[in-house]
Amino acid sequence: MLILLILSISSAEGQGGGGGVIDVVAKFGAKADEKTDLSKPLLDAWKEACASTSPAKIVIPKGIYFLSTATLDGPCKAPIELQVQGTLKAPADPGAFKEPKWIAFNRIENFKLSGGGVFDGQGTVAYKREDCEKHDYCDSLPINLRFDFLTNAMIQGITTKDSKQFHVNFLGCKNITFEHFIISAPGDSPNIDGIHIGRSDGVNVLNTEIKTGDDCVSIGDGSKNLVINGVTCGPGHGISIGNPVLFKNEELVDGVTVKNCTLTNTSNGVRIKSWPGAELGTCSNIHFEDITMTNVSSPIIIDQKYCPWNKCKINEESKVKLSNISFKNIHGTSALPEAVKIICSATLPCENVELADIEITLSGTNGPTVSQCSNVKPKVSGKQNPVACSAPIAAKPTPVA
């Protein structure tokens, strides 16, 4: 489907009338002067392209443009491509935004975003605000790129940098591929996930480089049939299936494969987490394979007692059922002795957890790494360093982000 989409758009180039190539500078007077708002030329171009009955491509040529905000709505009548060759800059002042989004793509089918361009969220002012966990401030900051209810889309060869909140957020999408995507933000940028996926089916994140201050990839409730392959992560908090079913009416997570990924200097490696007291739900068929870790603080972790900022009640247990989870051929170095931590719920112990060919040593020392388990009996095969489930759980485990 994606190949047909790309070919159909390419074949329309140069056609007269509807469809073809729409240049926002040549046709709608956009200016690459870093001060004239690109919003109206972009929205005008989108309106024309979206109404076309033949495939259309919008081009933003090379240059640096100021863009206040834009929501690009579908449905459109034919496949559509937005080719960003230049750099788009957001307002630096977080107060300039009325909604928590900078650029949003909504209810579009057969869409491509390409061109090698940059989406610069100019988030350094927002990063200076502290104590995000104690306020709603960070949740109200704009996400660089929102993709809501898209079907059959390709996001390729794009960079997003210094977003004020998440770089990319997916909601309600189906059959989406990210490829050769770059995400860049400082390691101390707060609450800045690279890519967050929620309630989406068939999302592929391929050959992507992510440097950020929170999870490189975070997977929320309702996510199904996801493939994360060839991702390099660091700095950041790793690749997380996070907080499934924290609230009522959240949906199951099923079918996630994370493969051929490299994590460097991250606070976590590959992780599944749920809150004590989380609502009844399931998270199943999760597979981590062929992962390289370098100086990662918690390389392998299932944490059903995840409780940042001490907001949980004493003796609460997670009601999320975790099953059919595998960690295979994971190797490298850990920044802390606890290289493997599988801490499951006493109410609903983990089922069918597999550890195969694990080789994780301690960074910068000859000391051993350890493996800790609770409420789980994993299937073990191949080399195991550290020896699976061989160490007691500390009374006060090392906190993780």
The catalytic site residues sit at: 214, 237
Measure the CA–CA gap between 37 and 93, rounded to whole angstroms.
Answer: 15
Pairing of strands 239-242, 217-219: parallel
Element (H, E) at 124: helix 124-127
Q: What CATH number should be reported for the domain holding residue 324?
A: 2.160.20.10
Q: Is 178 exposed, middle or buried (0-12, 13-18, 19+ CB in 10 A)?
A: buried
For residue 238, being part of any structural domain is answered with yes
Measure the CA–CA gap between 399 and 328, rounded to whole angstroms.
Answer: 25
User: Measuring CA to CA, which residue among 324, 4, 315, 312 is closest to residue 153?
Assistant: 4
Other CB atoms within 10 A of residue 65 CB: 27
| 124-158 tens-digit pLDDT | 888 776 555 455 556 689 999 999 999 999 999 99
Contact 148, 172 (CB under 8 A): yes
For residue 243, being part of any structural domain is answered with yes
Least confident of 306-320, 328-342, 380-394: 306-320
Contact 106, 145 (CB under 8 A): no
Contact 94, 153 (CB under 8 A): no
For residue 153, being part of any structural domain is answered with no
What Å distances lie between residue 259 and 291, 309, 373, CA to CA? Answer: 6, 31, 23
User: Measuring CA to CA, which residue among 132, 214, 217 is closest to residue 170?
Assistant: 217
Can you give the residue range of the structural domain that contains 233? 166-385
Measure the CA–CA gap between 213 and 220, rounded to whole angstroms.
Answer: 18
Contact 86, 119 (CB under 8 A): no
Measure the CA–CA gap between 102 and 119, rounded to whole angstroms.
Answer: 10
| 226-255 tens-digit pLDDT | 999 999 999 999 999 976 445 556 678 999
Measure the CA–CA gap between 218 and 377, rounded to whole angstroms.
Answer: 26
User: Can you give the length of the chain in residues?
Assistant: 401
Q: Which amino acid is at 213?
A: G
Measure the CA–CA gap between 148 and 170, rounded to whole angstroms.
Answer: 6
- Please state, for a pLDDT cut of 70, what percent of the chain lies above it: 87
Q: What is the pLDDT of residue 92?
A: 94
Question: Locate tokens 């709603």: which residue?
Answer: 136
For residue 229, being part of any structural domain is answered with yes
Domain count, the chain: 1
pTM over 0.85: yes
For residue 251, being part of any structural domain is answered with yes
Q: What is the pLDDT of residue 11?
A: 41
Question: Locate tokens 């295979």: which residue?
Answer: 328
* Position 174 confidence tier, pLDDT thresholds 50, 70, 90: very high
For residue 44, being part of any structural domain is answered with no
| 276-319 tens-digit pLDDT | 876 778 899 999 999 999 999 999 999 988 877 666 766 778 88
| 348-383 tens-digit pLDDT | 999 999 999 999 999 987 789 999 999 999 999 999
Q: Which amino acid is at 178?
A: F
What are the CB-based long-range contacts (under 8 Å, 24+) for 89-95? Answer: 89/34, 89/64, 89/65, 89/120, 89/122, 90/119, 90/120, 90/121, 90/122, 90/142, 90/144, 90/164, 91/66, 91/122, 92/122, 92/124, 92/125, 93/125, 94/125, 94/126, 94/141, 94/142, 94/164
Q: What is the pLDDT of residue 313?
A: 67
For residue 89, being part of any structural domain is answered with no
Measure the CA–CA gap between 181 and 270, rounded to whole angstroms.
Answer: 20
Q: Is 3 exposed, middle or buried (0-12, 13-18, 19+ CB in 10 A)?
A: exposed
| 162-172 tens-digit pLDDT | 999 999 999 99
Average pLDDT, integer, range 17-33: 91
Measure the CA–CA gap between 153 and 130, rounded to whole angstroms.
Answer: 36
Q: What is the pLDDT of residue 5?
A: 47
What Å distances lie between residue 102 and 86, 193, 218, CA to CA? Answer: 17, 15, 20
Average pLDDT, integer, range 196-221: 96
For residue 377, being part of any structural domain is answered with yes
| 45-98 tens-digit pLDDT | 999 999 999 999 999 999 999 999 999 999 999 999 999 999 999 999 998 999
